[in-house]
Amino acid sequence: MLLNPAVSGFHPDPSVVRVGDDYYLACSSFEYFPGVPLFHSTDAEHWTPIGHVVTRPGQLAIEDVPTGGGAWAPTIRFHDGQFWLTVADAMGRGGLIFTATDPAGEWSDGVVMVGADGIDHDITWDADGTCYVTYSGLLLTGPEFGTHLGIQQVRMDPTTGQALEAPRSLWSGTGLKFPEAPHLYEIDGTWYLMIAEGGTERGHGVSIARGPSPEGPFEGAPVNPVYSHRSTSHPVQNAGHGDLVHTDDGWRMVLLGTRPGGMSQMFAPLGRETFTTRVAWVDGWPVVERFTLTPDLPPVETTTSFAEPLGLEWLSIRDAERGWLARSDGRLVITAPDDAPPVAMDAHRPHFLGRRQLHLGSRCAVRVDASSGTGGLSVRYDERHHYDVEVSGGRLVARVRLDQLEQTWEAAVPDGPVELWISTTPVVPGPGLDMPDLATCDLVRLGYGSGADAVELAVVDGRYLTSDVTSSFTGRVTGMYAASGTVAFEGFEYAGHDA
């Protein structure tokens, strides 16, 4: 049984490549910075973060992308001695090609693709060295915004990003909505075109076709989709957007999925995660093994002191500069923007630093010194959906922000540093719960203080911070922010478990 989830928390749209005895995996990051997280493995099962593709300003135009924009669906490949990664900077720079000699090192500035308008770009080469870019023809600019042209392909000069021909239409699945995530492979002399279709929601699935060349013509598999969890009670839903890799013990597929909670599996707090399964080949077609979740994974507890440089897990929102961030005496210091809105986390680009929620049960806590400003701890899905615990001098506010709706709870606290915390507890269906209780995925608790002095200010339904309610492509990110003045943070604790 393979380890699942392979990469937990908001890590969607996985793509994988093997180079020698090493495997590398890339995921989407949307409006967050650093962008396009990268992982390394020696067994295509246990993944260790090694860096990001986007590590400096200008590589993505994330500063002004709308919610849901930014880095979509990378494809990572190795050719001619270097790594290549395509990604759509949706509603930003457009389709991009990045290169690196070491995936853990510095990546290029990114070449904009011209003549391949769409998303989910795949890149491959035939035996003659001809480069093909295959992509989903969803138009995100111009008067035809939102038009979907199906799966498209061009021959391309990858060094300049210039398409060498007009796009051609390829096999686009069985007729289900949103044919996307194409990946093209040459296996034993036959070319396979694997796509996702059915939308990235409950109908998501993986379909495949084969043909004699990268340009087709392609015939669909006798049974498509070759993988899906639609209309099942599998604990992982939305399964799709797969990529294939050959390992020493056979073929594997990495794919995305969600772990929705509630009696009807309606709400997924962590967003889309990465999973792995095995693939066999029968009569020239892939047969994908239905994976299972790994039971009894150990709990995780970490503490960040901020005395050392920030780790790879820390994210800002649409901000690659982070000029408002400093470290002093083992504390993280955040300076608020001059133009912060009345609710700081409503901002398009708040001064916020957070990390993904990786487990269904979790607790984040941090000690906050707001003697020179106002700030706190927030769990965020987007600028319209977030829960905050905020302190200013001797006043503490817990806040729920749901689009245009807001509710607050207040308490008086002593002057000086105070510990703020946010926890999540999965709801397990059972006797004694009424229907609204059974429907939700988890409860989010907002409070302050530690040990016997801990005070719970509010208990909030977690369904409102899920991809199913917010219509976002991301997941929960919890972290620290400043609303006014300068706020210092010390000892950020994260504890997570899935039991």
Same domain, 425 and 353: yes
Same domain, 379 and 482: yes
Whether 47 and 40 have beta carbons less than 8 Å apart is answered as: yes
Same domain, 67 and 128: yes
Same domain, 193 and 323: no
pLDDT value at position 15?
98
89 within a domain of the structure (yes/no): yes
DSSP 421-448: EEEEEE----TT--HHHHH-SEEEEEEE
434 within a domain of the structure (yes/no): yes
- Give the tokens for residue 68: 């849901």
**Which ranges of 351-460 would DSSP assign to H, the alpha helix?**
435-439
295 within a domain of the structure (yes/no): no
Same domain, 230 and 350: no
220 within a domain of the structure (yes/no): yes
CATH code for the domain in which residue 374 is found: 2.60.120.200
Eight-state DSSP code of residue 341: -
263 within a domain of the structure (yes/no): yes
Which of helix, strand or coil describes residue 462? Answer: helix
225 within a domain of the structure (yes/no): yes
Q: Which tens digit of pLDDT belongs to each residue from 334-343?
A: 999 999 999 9
pLDDT value at position 428?
82
pLDDT value at position 18?
98
pLDDT value at position 355?
98
Same domain, 306 and 277: no
Same domain, 239 and 308: no
pLDDT value at position 158?
98
7 within a domain of the structure (yes/no): no
Q: Which tens digit of pLDDT belongs to each residue from 446-498?
A: 999 988 889 999 999 999 999 899 978 999 999 999 999 999 999 999 999 99
- Give the tokens for residue 114: 């011209």
Q: Which tens digit of pLDDT belongs to each residue from 167-191?
A: 999 999 999 999 999 999 999 999 9
What span, in angstroms and rounded, lies between the C-alpha atoms of 336 and 324?
Answer: 7
Same domain, 233 and 359: no
Same domain, 322 and 230: no
Across the chain, how many H-helices and E-strands are there?
Answer: 2, 36
CATH code for the domain in which residue 273 is found: 2.115.10.20
**Per-residue CA distances from 160 to 95, 156, 219 (Å):** 12, 8, 32
List active site positions. Answer: 13, 180
pLDDT value at position 146?
85
pLDDT value at position 129?
97
Whether 443 and 315 have beta carbons less than 8 Å apart is answered as: no
5 within a domain of the structure (yes/no): no
Return averaged pLDDT per consecutive 10 residues of the chain, 499 residues in all.
Answer: 96 98 98 98 98 97 93 98 98 97 97 97 97 95 89 98 98 96 97 97 96 98 97 97 97 98 91 98 97 96 94 97 94 96 96 98 97 97 97 94 95 92 90 73 95 93 94 93 97 94
Choosing from 242, 260, 288, the residue where a domain stops is 288
Choosing from 240, 261, 288, the residue where a domain stops is 288
pLDDT value at position 233?
95
Spatial neighbors of 102 by CB under 8 A, at least 6 apart, are: 83
Domain of residue 442 covers 300-497
How many domains are there within the chain? Answer: 2
Same domain, 259 and 319: no
What span, in angstroms and rounded, lies between the C-alpha atoms of 350 and 43?
Answer: 39
Choosing from 259, 288, 317, the residue where a domain stops is 288
What span, in angstroms and rounded, lies between the C-alpha atoms of 480 and 263?
Answer: 33
Spatial neighbors of 198 by CB under 8 A, at least 6 apart, are: 176, 177, 178, 204, 205, 225, 228, 230, 240
Same domain, 149 and 171: yes
Same domain, 211 and 340: no
The whole-model pTM stands at: 0.96
Q: Which tens digit of pLDDT belongs to each residue from 87-100?
A: 999 999 999 999 99
